[in-house]
Structure 1
């Protein structure tokens, strides 16, 4: 199992647009091959902070997901809404 978190910080005037893009990502990416779980959370104290939590069958599935047209195109749209670069952390499940 391969787990990925992505911490995102929105520009203050882009919170709603970013939230809409991230909801779209959940609807689309949760059906990608190898995706076990894909969710987005918004910080309850700081509305500009979001967290993606993803679980994949393996690293290869995650890599293929990252190359999909949807992810590449959405990444370009998200870049204009973010106050900072996303922080991506990848984990291997310890069994």
Structure 2
């Protein structure tokens, strides 16, 4: 398996784990697989959503987001990608 294929497989597994975590903890998941900023911060292991807000304000966000009104939403697959890439030194 190539490095890219292995990374893609790990991202898929991690995304499923994030989705299971959200369902177990009654965190709403949008139709596109997005969760709100507070939940995304928990998934990434941050103390709170302030870190994600600061990254966005500074233009150095590691995870892409979309705005829904004044709320930032993060797709579980993008969170999984950020997590798995950090293990490869690319995060």
TM-score band w.r.t. shorter chain: 0.3 to 0.5
Q: TM-score, normalised by structure 2?
A: 0.42
Structure with greater strand share of residues:
1
Structure with greater helix share of residues:
2
User: 1 or 2 for the larger relative contact order (CA 8 Å, sep ≥6)?
Assistant: 1
